[in-house]
Structure 1
């Protein structure tokens, strides 16, 4: 594994009686793209502010490239920050905006212009150097803000919801652009967002936060397929969560009892042992539920009734009701096709899943 670029140990922050960030430990590898994800008030922006030096922790330690920067001024931390509002100087040209950090570092004007042009080429806007920010689109301004941040090659780039002000199409395009630039530079990026899809698309790892704590840290696949807690299962992506009771515990799979019978599942990745008789929630993603018109001997399935059908584009979503699901509709996602379009409200179907696609999570 690459060496640690950012190492956080026991870092915490309080505002009066409010715990904005409980003591956390976090290692970010050199060249990694780490996303801080979570709902409002989860602590992600507080953590980013502490890394940037815009706030001071109450306790703990932070190292950047092995140097203790816990209480070091922001401009001495070898970091760059990209904000949502771009923060470009309106009276300066694009080239002057990008070269400004170099000017503050006493870089010779000719060298600063050369590096600014290189940064413009990296963000694919070399022809806009003489324009002013007001003459640029939102996407162009964001790329200029990114170029200004990268021009002095900081060790770590922090991004605080940088795409939040853009429309969806432009946001999707900028996600790809930021990933391209990240690959070309190899710089460590710590990225804050509340957008789950954005986090899944861009990250090497996701740090999912809740209530000032790290709920789970791992690759997008880790969090999506192996949630450690009910919060992770419910927050990240769409999921079906069924109340159940453990009926048997095996080496690889367990048995759980729903109202309609025994079904297979696997245990959550938190390492806590499950015991027979224990209450759990079984999580199955909508795309991992399989339907048939009639049950088979190999897969008897669970009976459910279609209550709604929606074509959402490439996916068709079916909503079903069943006693084991309570009042919450079961969501099934199918590729949009003539077969998917053949289901009608009122159809009674057999529902089943593979053991590896169902995760039992302790309540």
Structure 2
């Protein structure tokens, strides 16, 4: 990878017999926004702790700017950290809080204050310099924590669920602020979250983790539209997963006989599959439509279980043999003029081959 800022090779961490992080390879480019995403216990926080130097690996190598810091102390790594807990000093003014890292680096007081005020401008809070942390809202305190990290210009900024304590509206606003700052400064950011929407919104790439290993690494679009495993298909966003058996493989296009109902599905795949193999065909709710006429493939029939307006989207739940126990979910934009579907109504659902992805049927 050109202009690599962070390079991890075979990094691993164990706690007794428990493997918190299996041998892992990962490279982050200069100026990239990479998100470590996954459920609790997936290894994302362990990996972040190893990058930060807050934990000692049991094997592997970690390079920052080409320098081996595998066993280096945190202060030797040229990193900054932003936590969910803002960790601001309550007895210091905001300007003093931001200038504190510069003071520790023996920057003279006048320069430190000037750079602290510049950092406040960066997070659009120049008017709070003389206030104390208790006088600010949670969102403002988080922006101050970010400014304190930015002020000494670290090579990499690590963020550990920094928006987890904020309400949804404020969290959405802070996502835009962090992205704006990242875009303006070109800072390399490694961000940890369990929030799928947050990861999709903010990242250049997502590193989705599961069971102490990387499940899939790629752009948000890669993971959402072209998952390689059942875990990725099921974890990221809402999905319909039809059980089936591969009957034919033509390059990255496959034909699948769905497990029940006698339906046939045509799909694409990014994973190695073979004729006779068990797969799940993933189709996103927004990619399913009502069939207007007779269709032989990429179609399932069923009866309407329920219809719900969730805001901007209306969701239709359909019971179908092809989906096993779970109902098929179809979503479309909410509008006054949309036709209503009665509970119990028989319907046929269909989708385009390019919107269907076959993944091996195993977690």
TM-score (norm 1): 0.96
Q: Are residue 208 (structure 1) and residue 181 (structure 2) matched?
A: no
Please name the residue that 1:266 is paired with.
267
The answer to whether the 8 Å contact 1:5/1:28 transfers is yes
The answer to whether the 8 Å contact 1:309/1:317 transfers is yes
Q: Are residue 11 (structure 1) and residue 11 (structure 2) matched?
A: yes
Structure 1 alignment gaps of length 5 or more: none
Q: Shift in Å at residue 298 of structure 1?
A: 7.5
Per-residue displacement from partner, 1:69-127 (whole Å, max 9, x unpaired)?
A: 11111011100000001000000000000000000000010000000000000000001
Per-residue displacement from partner, 1:270-319 (whole Å, max 9, x unpaired)?
A: 3x1x2222211111111111113x53358783211110000001100000
Q: Which SS does the other structure have where 1:342 is aligned? A: coil
Inter-partner Cα distance in structure 1 for 2:355 and 2:93: 54
Inter-partner Cα distance in structure 1 for 2:68 and 2:276: 50
The answer to whether the 8 Å contact 1:32/1:204 transfers is yes
The answer to whether the 8 Å contact 1:300/1:350 transfers is no
Inter-partner Cα distance in structure 1 for 2:49 and 2:43: 10
Structure 1's consecutive aligned runs of 4 or more residues displaced over 6 angstroms after TM superposition are none
Q: Which SS does the other structure have where 2:256 is aligned? A: strand
Q: Shift in Å at residue 222 of structure 1?
A: 0.3
Please name the residue that 2:55 is paired with.
55
Inter-partner Cα distance in structure 1 for 2:219 and 2:297: 32
Q: How many residues align?
A: 360
Q: How does 1:155-304 map to 2 (within 5 A)?
A: 155-258=155-258, 259-270=260-271, 272=272, 274-292=273-291, 295-296=293-294, 301-304=299-302
2:321 maps to which of 300, 323, 338: 323
Q: Which SS does the other structure have where 1:170 is aligned? A: helix
Calculate the aligned-residue CA RMSD, in Å. 1.4
Inter-partner Cα distance in structure 1 for 2:102 and 2:189: 20
Q: Shift in Å at residue 152 of structure 1?
A: 0.3
Q: Which SS does the other structure have where 2:169 is aligned? A: helix
Inter-partner Cα distance in structure 1 for 2:164 and 2:295: 51
Inter-partner Cα distance in structure 1 for 2:154 and 2:186: 11
Inter-partner Cα distance in structure 2 for 1:268 and 1:175: 32
Q: Which SS does the other structure have where 1:57 is aligned? A: coil
Inter-partner Cα distance in structure 2 for 1:167 and 1:300: 41
Q: Shift in Å at residue 63 of structure 1?
A: 0.4
Per-residue displacement from partner, 1:166-222 (whole Å, max 9, x unpaired)?
A: 000000000000000001110100000000000000000000000100000000000
Q: Which stretch shifts more, 197-206 or 294-303?
A: 294-303
Q: Shift in Å at residue 254 of structure 1?
A: 1.7
Q: Which stretch shifts more, 89-98 or 297-306?
A: 297-306
2:311 maps to which of 307, 313, 316: 313
Structure 2 alignment gaps of length 5 or more: none
TM-score (norm 2): 0.96
Inter-partner Cα distance in structure 2 for 1:183 and 1:279: 43
The answer to whether the 8 Å contact 1:267/1:361 transfers is no
The answer to whether the 8 Å contact 1:242/1:281 transfers is yes
Q: Which stretch shifts more, 69-78 or 199-208?
A: 69-78
Q: Which SS does the other structure have where 1:12 is aligned? A: strand
- Do the aligned partners of residues 104 and 252 (structure 1) sit closer, same or farther apart at CA in structure 2, a change above 3 Å counting? closer
The answer to whether the 8 Å contact 1:38/1:209 transfers is yes
Inter-partner Cα distance in structure 2 for 1:278 and 1:344: 38
Inter-partner Cα distance in structure 2 for 1:101 and 1:341: 60
Q: Shift in Å at residue 2 of structure 1?
A: 4.2
The answer to whether the 8 Å contact 2:160/2:191 transfers is yes
Q: Shift in Å at residue 339 of structure 1?
A: 5.0
The answer to whether the 8 Å contact 2:264/2:298 transfers is no
The answer to whether the 8 Å contact 1:253/1:264 transfers is no
The answer to whether the 8 Å contact 2:265/2:298 transfers is no
- Do the aligned partners of residues 297 and 194 (structure 1) sit closer, same or farther apart at CA in structure 2, a change above 3 Å counting? closer
